Amino acid sequence: MAAILIADDDTITRNLLELNLQDEGYEVIPVANGEEALALLQEFHPDLIIADVMMPIVDGYALCKACKNDPALHQIPIILYSSSYTRDQEQQLGYDFGADRYLLKPIDPEALLTTIAEIFEAPASSSGEPTELSVDEEMQRLKTYNEVLFDKLSTKMEELEQQVERLRHSEEVLKSTQAQLIQNEKMATLGQLSAGIAHEINTPLAFMASNTNTLKRYTRDFVDLFHAVQQALQTEEPLADVEAIKGLIKKRKLEFAAEDVLELIDETLDGTERLKSIVLNLKSFCRQDQQEKTYTDLNALIKSTINIAHCELKYKATVTYDLKDIPEFRCFPQQIGQVFLNLVLNASQAMEEPGTITIRSWSDDGTIHIEFSDTGSGMPDEVREKIFDPFFTTKPVGLGTGLGLPISADIIRRHNGTIEVSSTVGEGTQFLITLPEDA
């Protein structure tokens, strides 16, 4: 079996060549560059050398020259091949250095096999003794050698630059796709909450409307009273009208109205505050994060996020907090808020009957810990193992996207943190997030 040495720094080309030649029954010895090839040739003489031209340390030309100048090796035929053909001289240079064939990539496997067969059938024809060169010829050859290598290097540099540019572009595309995915999932969560949020907005709106109607009636009564008083003051004998005024006060229940009016106004103002905070929470939840991370009070973020889900939660779970002082965390707050919301919604959706969600936060040894534990259904192992897989959901279509946890895990990972889960069927589930204080 003929043995063929392959020298190529490109692993893929080398492996493909190796497989092709092995299929044909050749023994193949692959190496990654000319230097390795020369080291190996000290101990072992293959029947053929196939070498790439552009290789680090010792290139194909130099390998060829070294072999052809070595009496022990000069009989071994050499096929050089080159990827980026830059100028006619490069092929001639290969032959000048003693190559038997000079091929261009991509190499057609059939053509290569034919070439190899040809070489084996007509051995040593061109691999004669090295010819002595004059100094001038030697200089000329060296000059061409330098020019060819320089050209090839420039071409390679250009290729590399293009490759870097392509990579940069794909990275940008990836980033924006990721941002889009996060935003989509956020909107899906919001979709789930929209009925609750509508209710949340409707309740204050309803009592504000009713209060405003009562206030209108009271105001009309007080205006009437004002007119009666004004009229009395304009008559000769104002005291004569006092009875009429008293009657008005009694008839319109103005004593009660005088007490009630401020209460109604306070309640209405309270309602506007509630609406304001709902809108604010929603706005901050929906907004895409800024480019820059900001220092964030995570305890406040927990509370404002849970507020958004208030209506969804209030019939299913009591939320209790045990939030210790933790340092401000540099993060994308909307993203972290999204994680919190996913966790509480999952917890409430896991409750078959009303239960408790406990949110704890603390920090130690430079790490912030945030734990969400619930008294929901818990998960069997085969579910727990899959919950971070995209699109894994146990919920009916329309309720579950299966993206909440994988996206949450991704967000936490990109903040250099971890998220872990433990769960017992019938008892409940805990999610523990850890974040480095100086992320």
Ligand X SMILES: Nc1ncnc2c1ncn2[C@@H]1O[C@H](COP(=O)(O)OP(=O)(O)O)[C@@H](O)[C@H]1O
Give me the residues that bind ligand X (CB under 6 A), please: 342, 346-347, 350, 374, 376-377, 379, 383, 387, 392-395, 400-405, 429
Least distance CB 195 / ligand X (angstroms): 17
Q: How far apart are CA 299 and CA 251, in angstroms?
A: 54
Contacts of 78 (CB under 8 A, 6+ apart): 48, 49, 50, 51, 63, 64, 67, 68, 98, 99, 100, 101, 127
The answer to the question of residue 404 lying near Mg ion (CB under 5 A) is yes
430 binds, among ligand X, Mg ion, none (CB under 5 to 8 A by kind): none
Per-residue 3-state assignment (H helix, E strand, C coil) for 205-224: HHHHHHHHHHHHHHHHHHHH
75 binds, among Mg ion, ligand X, none (CB under 5 to 8 A by kind): none
Between 296 and 393, CB nearer to ligand X: 393
Neighbours of 362 (CB within 10 A): 14
374 binds, among ligand X, Mg ion, none (CB under 5 to 8 A by kind): ligand X
b/e sequence 195-220, b meaning 16+ C-beta within 10 Å: ebbeebbeebeeebeebeeebeebee
Q: How far apart are CA 51 and CA 13, in angstroms?
A: 11
Least distance CB 199 / ligand X (angstroms): 21
Least distance CB 433 / Mg ion (angstroms): 15
Between 31 and 370, CB nearer to ligand X: 370
Least distance CB 192 / ligand X (angstroms): 9
Nearest CA to 317 out of 362, 281, 352 is that of 352
Q: How far apart are CA 439 and CA 437, in angstroms?
A: 6
Per-residue 3-state assignment (H helix, E strand, C coil) for 33-46: CHHHHHHHHCCCCC
Least distance CB 413 / ligand X (angstroms): 15
Say if residue 13 is exposed, middle or buried (CB neighbours under 10 Å; 0-12, 13-18, 19+). Answer: middle
197 binds, among Mg ion, ligand X, none (CB under 5 to 8 A by kind): none
109 binds, among Mg ion, ligand X, none (CB under 5 to 8 A by kind): none
Between 67 and 419, CB nearer to ligand X: 419
Least distance CB 394 / ligand X (angstroms): 3
95 binds, among Mg ion, ligand X, none (CB under 5 to 8 A by kind): none
Which tokens hold the place of 92?
A: 């001639």
Number of residues binding to Mg ion, judged by CB under 5 A? 2
Between 53 and 309, CB nearer to Mg ion: 309
Contacts of 96 (CB under 8 A, 6+ apart): 141
CA 146 from chain centre, in angstroms, equals: 46
Between 228 and 421, CB nearer to ligand X: 421
Between 56 and 380, CB nearer to Mg ion: 380
Helices (H), 53-134: 60-68, 89-96, 109-121
The answer to the question of residue 376 lying near Mg ion (CB under 5 A) is no
Between 112 and 405, CB nearer to ligand X: 405
433 binds, among Mg ion, ligand X, none (CB under 5 to 8 A by kind): none
393 binds, among ligand X, Mg ion, none (CB under 5 to 8 A by kind): ligand X
Between 82 and 358, CB nearer to ligand X: 358
Contacts of 356 (CB under 8 A, 6+ apart): 317, 318, 319, 320, 374, 375
Per-residue binder mask for Mg ion (CB under 5 A), 324-353, x = binder: ----------------------x-------
Window contacting Mg ion (CB under 5 A); options: 8-16, 86-94, 323-331, 402-410: 402-410
Half-sphere exposure of 341 (CA within 13 A, CB side): 33
Q: How far apart are CA 433 and CA 420, in angstroms?
A: 7
Say if residue 77 is exposed, middle or buried (CB neighbours under 10 Å; 0-12, 13-18, 19+). Answer: buried
Question: Closest residue (Cβ) to ligand X?
Answer: 404
Between 346 and 375, CB nearer to Mg ion: 346
182 binds, among ligand X, Mg ion, none (CB under 5 to 8 A by kind): none
Going by their DSSP bridges, the two strands 418-424 and 428-436 should be labelled as antiparallel
Where along the sequence are the contacts to Mg ion (CB under 5 A)? 346, 404
